Chains A and B, each alone.
Chain A
């Protein structure tokens, strides 16, 4: 299952002082962004991406994944202390975390949260370590039809599980795919859709689009508020109580294992992996509650379930990214950009061509979980000073960083225009419930699928039946049709008994 010789090669690459320092810095910054509601780990990765130019690929990826890990964990800290999840994936952490804070047990709650995050993340990356080879083997069987149907399935999942409009999800996903094909057609050499702009002949730089679409809408939302958070933060730090909370986590082995498996399984779903994972794990823990356990009133097992699943989902999302090259979340979409920045494209061939780097990255992420214990405690204790930064300072300074970052991608000021244009466009999309992640998946995969279709047409001509004669596309098509059919059926049948608006995802 694991090619140990390549794994140890990768591990030896990671064991350097430089990578440890960058992982520490990345995790710290990710946590800071994670604890500030409105700023997310994804935004932090987007802002820091250009800074990784001069780093070697492994250092850059270890640094950015450390930001990702920090961002996921940081969201839970504010969920506990101020009842405001810093990231969507921490929504279930607040259910019991904040009641614990109100009882004066914030230190224990933080201990539970940190330990569960570490265990969840560790489990997620162990899964990745052992299953990356089988996943890649399956992915290598994927031809044009498999990739097209898999992309379509991703869009269906985003639309249905996210409780969004399927037609908007599909429309924006297909628009993203179209934009991804702009530029010189690799098969025919024809320049398409550039409006005569030479800067677009190599296509739309997806790195710039992704950065803009994540960061600018956040800024446009932030500037209408003076401060991100306007509540008091519980202080009164007690390290012993925090350690007691950590120890408490280890006593709930079943919940930890169940939630980790849920997180990993759900993490592979695009768009909503961590959020749905933590909600499902919380619901499972609630169902299995013993007499005397009061979920929603400060039950430690609620925090354990939510945080374990939240961080375990990272392994699932990374698995899909590394094996298939399809980003399942905003953060992994930006990690695709990081791979591209260093001349690589995630997908099944990546492990074959850069085995030590991929295993090095997985090892780095496992090591990060140990670092996380110290950095998360540090940030949790001092977060009160972080979240009161006025938005008028955050917004323009981050824009200045992103502008120079966008320029750095191709050394063109034109890319700064693209950054702002797609950023403002994304704000409208978000506001009107067009899922941005669908658009990004489209922009990232557009060119690749275009080439796959060209290959397909050379091999099979106009015979579309080949699409469904192979078992994987046929199965994917069946799942798509079933899901869409169910969605339409539910819509026309009307809301079910017990369904509540806004709980679809």
Chain B
């Protein structure tokens, strides 16, 4: 038997949130029941789909295939989300978004591009310096001054 954990986790989270969404809306005020006319059938639909998704994530393999599978796993080079490059990238995205809120767009963008370039193996000094600087400055200029997007370029303090 082979169990895919991720679809089960994803569908559980979806189901949990949907039920929370329904109850938090329906009980919030006297307009609640009117506000879930569309939400209610959707939550019921998700409830119906949930066991089917879980059932689909559990596969009963014939014995010969079950014996083959571990070898298959070893051959697969992609480690999914646990791949260090992906983990680093996602962490960098989180830090970048947070830093941009407090430090403005320019400096976090330069640091983000520089750190990803460096972590992914770039050692060319010219690229490491010129690309983050050039890219961040150009984007800031285009969006702030040409497209007049009111983004904070520098820290507001």
Find out whether the CB atom of B39 lies under 8 angstroms from the CB atom of A181: yes
- Which of A171, A189, A223 is close to B46, meaning CB atoms less than 8 Å apart? A171
Q: How far is the CB of A435 from chain B (nearest CB, A)?
A: 13
Find out whether the CB atom of B49 lies under 8 angstroms from the CB atom of A177: no
Give A51 to B143 CA distance when docked, in angstroms.
8
Find out whether the CB atom of A404 lies under 8 angstroms from the CB atom of B143: yes
Hey, which chain B residues are within 8 Å of A449, CB to CB?
A: 38
Is B66 located at the chain interface by the 8 A CB criterion?
no
Find out whether the CB atom of A420 lies under 8 angstroms from the CB atom of B93: yes
Instruction: Please indicate which of the listed interface residues A165, A395, A396, A428 has the most CB atoms of chain B within 10 Å of its own CB.
Output: A396
Find out whether the CB atom of A400 lies under 8 angstroms from the CB atom of B136: yes
Give A114 to B57 CA distance when docked, in angstroms.
43
Find out whether the CB atom of B89 lies under 8 angstroms from the CB atom of A220: yes
Q: Mark B85-99, 1 if CB is under 8 A from A, else 0.
A: 110011001101100
Q: A399-B112, A401-B139, A403-B100 are in contact. Are A171 and B37 (CB under 8 A)?
A: no
Hey, which chain A residues are within 8 Å of B117, CB to CB?
A: 392-393, 396
Is A9 located at the chain interface by the 8 A CB criterion?
no
Find out whether the CB atom of B7 lies under 8 angstroms from the CB atom of A223: no
Find out whether the CB atom of A432 lies under 8 angstroms from the CB atom of B7: yes
The A/B interface has a contact count, at CB < 8 Å, of 179
Is B4 located at the chain interface by the 8 A CB criterion?
yes
Give A189 to B31 CA distance when docked, in angstroms.
8
Instruction: Please indicate which of the listed interface residues B45, B78, B97 has the most CB atoms of chain A within 10 Å of its own CB.
Output: B97
Give A240 to B147 CA distance when docked, in angstroms.
44
Find out whether the CB atom of B53 lies under 8 angstroms from the CB atom of A399: no
Is A22 located at the chain interface by the 8 A CB criterion?
no
Q: A168-B7, A396-B116, A420-B94 are in contact. Are A174 and B45 (CB under 8 A)?
A: yes
Find out whether the CB atom of A51 lies under 8 angstroms from the CB atom of B147: yes
The B38-65 residues at the A interface (CB cut-off 8 A) are 38-39, 42-43, 45-46, 49-50, 52-53, 56
Is B107 located at the chain interface by the 8 A CB criterion?
no
| B interface, size bucket | 35 or more
Main secondary structure of the interface of B (DSSP, over half): helix
Hey, which chain A residues are within 8 Å of B50, CB to CB?
A: 171
Q: A171-B53, A178-B21 are in contact. Are A226 and B121 (CB under 8 A)?
A: yes
Give A165 to B58 CA distance when docked, in angstroms.
13
Q: Mark A440-468, 1 if CB is under 8 A from B, else 0.
A: 00000000011001100100000000000
Is B129 located at the chain interface by the 8 A CB criterion?
no
- Which of A175, A190, A390, A424 is close to B122, meaning CB atoms less than 8 Å apart? A390
Find out whether the CB atom of A188 lies under 8 angstroms from the CB atom of B31: yes
Q: How far is the CB of A1 from chain B (nearest CB, A)?
A: 36
Main secondary structure of the interface of A (DSSP, over half): helix
Hey, which chain B residues are within 8 Å of A427, CB to CB?
A: 81
Hey, which chain A residues are within 8 Å of B90, CB to CB?
A: 220, 424
Give A427 to B89 CA distance when docked, in angstroms.
13
Q: Mark A402-436, 1 if CB is under 8 A from B, else 0.
A: 01100110010100110010011001110111100
Q: A167-B53, A168-B7, A408-B143 are in contact. Are A403 and B97 (CB under 8 A)?
A: yes
Q: How far is the CB of B59 from chain A (nearest CB, A)?
A: 12
Q: How far is the CB of B93 from chain A (nearest CB, A)?
A: 5
Find out whether the CB atom of B14 lies under 8 angstroms from the CB atom of A175: yes
Is B3 located at the chain interface by the 8 A CB criterion?
no
Hey, which chain B residues are within 8 Å of A224, CB to CB?
A: 78, 83, 85-86
Hey, which chain A residues are within 8 Å of B53, CB to CB?
A: 165, 167-168, 171
Give A34 to B18 CA distance when docked, in angstroms.
37
Instruction: Please indicate which of the listed interface residues B4, B31, B93, B127 has the most CB atoms of chain A within 10 Å of its own CB.
Output: B93
The A170-225 residues at the B interface (CB cut-off 8 A) are 170-172, 174-175, 177-178, 181-182, 185, 187-190, 192-193, 216, 219-220, 223-224
Q: A54-B147, A392-B117 are in contact. Are A167 and B56 (CB under 8 A)?
A: yes
**Residue ID in chain B nearest A491 by CB atoms:** B56
Find out whether the CB atom of B37 lies under 8 angstroms from the CB atom of A453: yes
Find out whether the CB atom of A393 lies under 8 angstroms from the CB atom of B39: no
Q: How far is the CB of A89 from chain B (nearest CB, A)?
A: 24
Instruction: Please indicate which of the listed interface residues A50, A397, A408, A453 has the most CB atoms of chain B within 10 Å of its own CB.
Output: A397
Give A420 to B112 CA distance when docked, in angstroms.
14
Q: Which 10 A-B pairs have the closest CB atoms?
A: A167-B52, A392-B120, A396-B116, A171-B49, A453-B38, A188-B31, A396-B113, A450-B38, A413-B101, A185-B35
A-B contact pairs, 8 of them (CB 8 A): A185-B35, A187-B34, A190-B31, A223-B86, A392-B120, A396-B116, A403-B100, A450-B38
Given contacts A171-B50, A216-B93, 5 further A-B contacts (CB under 8 A): A167-B56, A172-B14, A177-B38, A188-B35, A408-B147
Spell out A's residues near B (CB within 8 Å). 50-51, 53-54, 165-168, 170-172, 174-175, 177-178, 181-182, 185, 187-190, 192-193, 216, 219-220, 223-224, 226, 390-393, 395-397, 399-401, 403-404, 407-408, 411, 413, 416-417, 420, 423-424, 427-429, 431-434, 449-450, 453-454, 457
